[in-house]
Structure 1
């Protein structure tokens, strides 16, 4: 209210002034503004602007510049031959550079799958690169040397029984591979396991893996039934708790060879029969503890190479080398070792037959009946041969 009263009073005072007084006030203001303008210094010249105004019409004679350069070149002295530097052309330089750099195919599988939301094409390559980086975290050793009660044959029988459980419960293959990986990690970390605990250990591994991968995992009563009621309900619960305490929850995210195999098969758009043949070889390797220390990505690549050659549909090409990171020289020795395992199956795996019978079915294209490649380790007999560079 006080501000409004002051403003009204000031307006009233201006209205009370007569026209002559108003004119005097305006003249004073004009003279004051003129004095201020004269007191301000003059604007400085802009050097760049003035210079550009002066030379914008100036034409440079390039002939004089070339002539001055030519005159500066010194002539060689007479009687002395000067060495001439050989200058390579741009074409020769490009050819030399292409020889140093390994050519990668201009094929981008993930770009072709960009329209498919389920393929996760944007992050697919980064995911498998991340899998490769995590493989050393879950590497196991040949733990049978420290377990007196566990032999190679017993480990093979356990793996065969786990394959049978996976088939009867119709579980995902990822569940089977994760369960076998968890068993290997557990046996590698503990110092002693009794023989009568192996079936309980396998049940706990499948139980944990099915909770992680399956939509509807089997119940505890289902596992007690397949174990012929050899264990009590509390035994399985206690073993599950102890199992997770040993392997750790991080082991549930361990890279699996089955996922690498599917990735390699997809990038080359392999047919289902070739993929199934590779799956048969890879699943057979789950029974052998000798292949437990192998890299998951490498053994998957070796199995696919074996299937390509057995089916005679191709070989290791630059696309597979790009997406797997392995050359044919790196995986061929391991592939021949796996081929030897199939060649001696009748004698080496005489007590286990679940994998062979599973893949001899028509739904799996009877790939277990395929003839293996020439066995270069035939002299090794019924022993699995692991090359030194694997």
Structure 2
């Protein structure tokens, strides 16, 4: 917890707080020694390539458009909730998230610059795009998640995306139920 708080928080709690939480079961020196041991074992490598890192990179090519990026963040989080995304690379999920967000907001084509920053062509994105549209078209499965992104703070991303999916679902999946039920990803 001590390491995680230092990594994630702007102002991390002091080691004294952790001693207190541990009911004085450890001294401050023991906590700091354990911290050094764990960090050395990890070779001080605490980062991993998560989808948000890739979304930020693609956002560069999109001039950091806040609305596109907010919709993209909602779509990224979908991949954490639906098991069908687990087999796909985080970078591909991020690319598909940005692609779909741009499509919904009518921000233009997936051009060469976006493809370079994303690392994926429009064709490579299509299978993930279809999964995302299918998720958005279905009933709300995670109400708290949906409500969070339905707020003004998140630009009503969940509402915008689900409304778009309801209106455009058949354009992207020819025979949606049959194709997704069979487990194969439909082709465009």
**Corresponding residue for residue 368 of structure 1:** 158
Q: Which runs of 5+ in 2 are unaligned?
A: 15-20, 24-33
**Corresponding residue for residue 338 of structure 1:** 132
Q: Secondary structure at the residue paired with 1:359? A: helix
- Quickly say closer, same or farther: Cα 1:259–1:274, change in 2 above 3 A: same
- Quickly say closer, same or farther: Cα 1:345–1:209, change in 2 above 3 A: farther
**Corresponding residue for residue 353 of structure 1:** 143
1:331-360 Cα shifts (integer Å, max 9, x gaps): 1111111111111142xx1xx222211111
Equivalents in 2 of 1:218, 1:314: separation in Å?
Answer: 45
1:218: how far off?
A: 6.9
**Corresponding residue for residue 256 of structure 1:** 50
Q: Is the CA contact 1:258–1:300 (under 8 Å) kept in the aligned structure 2?
A: yes
Q: Secondary structure at the residue paired with 2:110? A: coil
Structure with higher Rg: it is: 1
- Quickly say closer, same or farther: Cα 1:327–1:357, change in 2 above 3 A: same
Q: Is the CA contact 1:209–1:252 (under 8 Å) kept in the aligned structure 2?
A: no
**Corresponding residue for residue 28 of structure 2:** none
Equivalents in 1 of 2:182, 2:22: separation in Å?
Answer: 38
**Corresponding residue for residue 387 of structure 1:** 185
**Corresponding residue for residue 314 of structure 1:** 108
Q: Which runs of 5+ in 1 are unaligned?
A: 1-203, 220-231, 235-240
- Quickly say closer, same or farther: Cα 1:332–1:270, change in 2 above 3 A: farther
Q: How does 1:39-50 map to 2 (within 5 A)?
A: none
- Quickly say closer, same or farther: Cα 1:275–1:291, change in 2 above 3 A: same
User: Are residues 1:296 and 2:86 paired?
Assistant: no
> TM-score, normalization: structure 2?
0.69
- State which of 202, 210, 214 in structure 1 corresponds to 2:9: 214
Q: Secondary structure at the residue paired with 1:335? A: helix
- Quickly say closer, same or farther: Cα 1:353–1:261, change in 2 above 3 A: same
User: What RMSD, in angstroms, separates the aligned Cα atoms of the two structures?
Assistant: 3.7
Q: Is the CA contact 1:344–1:382 (under 8 Å) kept in the aligned structure 2?
A: no
Q: How does 1:1-390 map to 2 (within 5 A)?
A: 209-217=4-12, 249=42, 252-346=46-140, 349=141, 352-370=142-160, 371=163, 372=165, 373-375=168-170, 376=173, 378-379=176-177, 387=185
1:49-99 Cα shifts (integer Å, max 9, x gaps): xxxxxxxxxxxxxxxxxxxxxxxxxxxxxxxxxxxxxxxxxxxxxxxxxxx
Q: Secondary structure at the residue paired with 2:169? A: coil
> TM-score, normalization: structure 1?
0.36
- Quickly say closer, same or farther: Cα 1:357–1:333, change in 2 above 3 A: same
Equivalents in 2 of 1:218, 1:209: separation in Å?
Answer: 11
Query: Greater relative contact order: 1 or 2 (C-alpha under 8 angstroms, separation 6 or more)?
Result: 2
1:239-293 Cα shifts (integer Å, max 9, x gaps): xx9xxx8xx7367321111011011112221521111111111112112233233
- Quickly say closer, same or farther: Cα 1:383–1:344, change in 2 above 3 A: farther
**Corresponding residue for residue 166 of structure 1:** none
